[in-house]
Structure 1
Amino acid sequence: MIKRISAITAALALATVGFIVPANAATTEADCGKAGEFCVGLVTDLGKIDDKSFNQAAWEGAVAGAKKAGGFAKYIETTDSKDYAKNIKLFADKGYNAIVTVGFLMGDASAAAAKLYPKIKFIGVDQFNASTETNYTGLIFDEDKAGFLAGYLAGYLTKTNKVGAVFGMKEVLPVRKFGEGYEGGIAYAAKQRSKKIKSTVVYHAAGDNAFSDPAWGATTANQLLTQGYDVIFGAGGSTGNGAIGKVAQKAGALCIGVDIDQYYTVPEAKSCLVTSAEKKLVLGVATLVGQAKAGTIKGGNYTGQVGLAPHHDLESKVPAAVKVRLKKTTTAVLAGSIATGFKG
């Protein structure tokens, strides 16, 4: 796992829009559309492919799925939301078999493209598919459950009884689900501990840079730190990465990553990273790409797995009694027997 992520990250450091990662050396883009070939295109949401969280995890899943299928994968980075349809069309016109569109904001464009190109399988990451298009599958997650567990752990680890978060824009539903779940988990821990814990979630203003603003993330995290917040959750591409990177500079403060186990992708945050609120994005995308190849993929929605990453270097910071409580609570939350606080 570590070697794979490191290799891909190294390659992406040299990448430009349209960088190609062949899953099979015998297959090239020129083969797309030919009988027996399998090509996977991925269109990112706003932000870069090497964001060390959301876009990167989706891309790794696309590569893994294409490689297992003996196919080929390529990505296009979106820098302006007006380009969603145009970027999808670049793959469709070349005969790609499956197109992965990343992000809640691409939902309408994905549904429209699925209708326009009925022979192509569309996989929409973080998109609830409410359309009737049978060639469009939304990969969705219970982010509120992962957020709740992160908040629950934070509520037990805080020493100042102030727990914060720095997120991308609230208008993106999965981000709001993380936030509301996080606050629900903090409140649940506070009740069990009979403590009054202050929680503050700060969202970035809406805009094309909401998930690619590490400077704002760092500045906002620093403001929370100076106010005595000692556990901070960063979520929102490089914006969130900027936040947890800043927390790592504060002795004694703890941070929580998002989407994937960021212990492996944001090394500058290792010293404070007590866990990551994971959406199993790599697994979810790879699974659906494999189903697209096998012809078993179904339209509608597919719910991926969520959970917390290991504590890694900060294992000793989590008391044994807290680990027991966290394990029990995790089982209940994932089963749906504890309400997360997400308002819908």
Structure 2
Amino acid sequence: MTALAQRYFTDSFTITYDDITDGVYTEEEEAAADERCIGLVTDVGLVDDKSFNQASWQGAQEGAEAIGVDVSYIETQNSKDYAANIGLFAGAGCEIIVTVGFAMGEATGIAAAEYPDINFIGVDMWQGEALSNVAGLIFNEDRAGFLAGALAASMSSTGIVGQVLGTNLVPPVQAFGNGFDRGARYINPDIEILKTYHPGAIEVAFGDPEWGATTSRQAMDQGADVIFAAGGSTGNGGLMEVAAAATAGESVFCIGVDIDQWYSVPEAKPCLITSAEKHLVQGVSTLVVMAAAGELPSGNYYGTVGLAPYHDFDSVIPDDVKATIDEIAAALNDGSMETGYSFGDE
């Protein structure tokens, strides 16, 4: 364990300092090492969730490499520790702190006011009142969901599709889910959509792969032949259940979320036709570089969204379906088409 980690480590979280060399520092040397660093704090959940947290962490790493500083993360174990975990990086002298997840919004705002000389990047955090040292990285998840729904409806043979989602207490999850509904019905107004949100609190809704698997199985048993799974490890469990069914000979497809899960959840490859992506890596790394240059945009900063490549299913998806998806994506991007989603529709 490094000297810096020893100074701040407690049982309430996991902390790693990958790029700080092990050894003994004088106080002066420690201060110099601490001064140039980036810290990332997750919401309750693991950094290697193969989805949202993992992509945010990768973006922080790429941004840190671009500006030549050390980067570390803390995995929050309990929501009561948000402020303390942010404070650890502030106390270590980190110039940029990335906080990940809607639920950390309040703690991030309070910390930004307490530490005005630190730049904060809040991933999935809408900024109602702009603070000069906070950029809220947000996305039009409804657009990505719309594209996923349009593809799902186009590929469904039964006329029934399913959604396995994290809690609807989180606005981006609502946006994904509602956007999917609208995209599916844009293609087939009569399509049946089996949509299920996790019934638990935020602390558990994204870390329940067993529930995700069970819910996917229930949807397939009711005739759904395309499943959109969006909800961290919960969604990953849903994807893997559909993949197991596809491997067993069922004619079913699945769609991942947040990043291209072809790579992050290879177990889903037997069914994974695409993923509804938020370009988190690009968004976080871009804001890190901007912050280091003294150009952090205050308020809300929109990252881009889209569908991941079709990979092994490219030849399975008809050309006319691909063309339709491309046309919808272009129209959403240039503003000539709107999903119609507003927060609170769910």
TM-score by length of 1: 0.90
The answer for the alignment partner of 1:56 in structure 2 is 54
2:203 is the counterpart of 1:204: no
- 1:38 touches 1:97 (CA, 8 Å); kept in 2? yes
User: Matched residues in 2 for 1:25 and 1:293: separation?
Assistant: 26
Please report how far the alpha carbon of residue 131 of structure 1 lies from its aligned counterpart in structure 2 after TM superposition. Answer: 2.7
Note closer, same or farther for the CA distance 1:98–1:152 as it changes in structure 2 (3 Å cut).
Answer: same
The answer for the alignment partner of 2:100 in structure 1 is 102
User: Matched residues in 2 for 1:308 and 1:335: separation?
Assistant: 16
Give the alignment of 1:305-316 within 5 angstroms.
305-316=304-315
Note closer, same or farther for the CA distance 1:170–1:115 as it changes in structure 2 (3 Å cut).
Answer: same
Please report how far the alpha carbon of residue 296 of structure 1 lies from its aligned counterpart in structure 2 after TM superposition. Answer: 1.1
User: Matched residues in 2 for 1:106 and 1:35: separation?
Assistant: 27
The answer for the alignment partner of 1:268 in structure 2 is 267
- 1:24 touches 1:72 (CA, 8 Å); kept in 2? no
- 2:96 touches 2:121 (CA, 8 Å); kept in 1? yes
Secondary structure of 1:110's counterpart equals helix
Note closer, same or farther for the CA distance 1:295–1:227 as it changes in structure 2 (3 Å cut).
Answer: same
- 2:36 touches 2:93 (CA, 8 Å); kept in 1? no
Please report how far the alpha carbon of residue 343 of structure 1 lies from its aligned counterpart in structure 2 after TM superposition. Answer: 2.3
The answer for the alignment partner of 1:167 in structure 2 is 165
User: Matched residues in 2 for 1:132 and 1:75: separation?
Assistant: 25
Please report how far the alpha carbon of residue 90 of structure 1 lies from its aligned counterpart in structure 2 after TM superposition. Answer: 0.8
Q: Deviations over 1:258-290 (max 9, x none)?
A: 000000010100010000000000000000011
The answer for the alignment partner of 1:240 in structure 2 is 235
The answer for the alignment partner of 2:335 in structure 1 is 336
TM-score by length of 2: 0.90
The answer for the alignment partner of 1:12 in structure 2 is none
Please report how far the alpha carbon of residue 298 of structure 1 lies from its aligned counterpart in structure 2 after TM superposition. Answer: 2.0
User: Matched residues in 2 for 1:65 and 1:287: separation?
Assistant: 7
User: Matched residues in 2 for 1:96 and 1:179: separation?
Assistant: 36
The answer for the alignment partner of 1:80 in structure 2 is 78
User: Which amino acid is 1:324 matched to?
Assistant: A
Secondary structure of 2:185's counterpart equals helix
Q: Deviations over 1:39-73 (max 9, x none)?
A: 11000012111100000000000011001111000
CA RMSD between the two structures: 1.9
The answer for the alignment partner of 1:319 in structure 2 is 318
Please report how far the alpha carbon of residue 334 of structure 1 lies from its aligned counterpart in structure 2 after TM superposition. Answer: 2.0
Secondary structure of 1:99's counterpart equals strand
Please report how far the alpha carbon of residue 24 of structure 1 lies from its aligned counterpart in structure 2 after TM superposition. Answer: 9.4
Note closer, same or farther for the CA distance 1:246–1:56 as it changes in structure 2 (3 Å cut).
Answer: same
The unaligned stretches of length 5 or more in structure 2 are: 1-12
User: Which amino acid is 2:256 matched to?
Assistant: G
Secondary structure of 1:328's counterpart equals helix
After TM superposition, where is structure 1 displaced by more than 3 Å over at least 4 residues in a row?
Answer: 23-26, 30-37
The answer for the alignment partner of 1:215 in structure 2 is 210
The unaligned stretches of length 5 or more in structure 1 are: 1-15
Identity level (%): 51
User: Which amino acid is 1:165 matched to?
Assistant: Q
User: Matched residues in 2 for 1:94 and 1:147: separation?
Assistant: 39
Note closer, same or farther for the CA distance 1:219–1:36 as it changes in structure 2 (3 Å cut).
Answer: closer
Give the alignment of 1:31-46 within 5 angstroms.
34=32, 37-46=35-44
User: Matched residues in 1 for 2:178 and 2:264: separation?
Assistant: 25
User: Matched residues in 1 for 2:44 and 2:170: separation?
Assistant: 12
The answer for the alignment partner of 2:244 in structure 1 is 249
Aligned pair count reads 323
User: Which amino acid is 1:204 matched to?
Assistant: H
User: Which amino acid is 2:111 matched to?
Assistant: A
Please report how far the alpha carbon of residue 35 of structure 1 lies from its aligned counterpart in structure 2 after TM superposition. Answer: 9.1
User: Matched residues in 2 for 1:338 and 1:23: separation?
Assistant: 48
The answer for the alignment partner of 2:288 in structure 1 is 289
- 2:216 touches 2:227 (CA, 8 Å); kept in 1? yes
Please report how far the alpha carbon of residue 34 of structure 1 lies from its aligned counterpart in structure 2 after TM superposition. Answer: 3.5
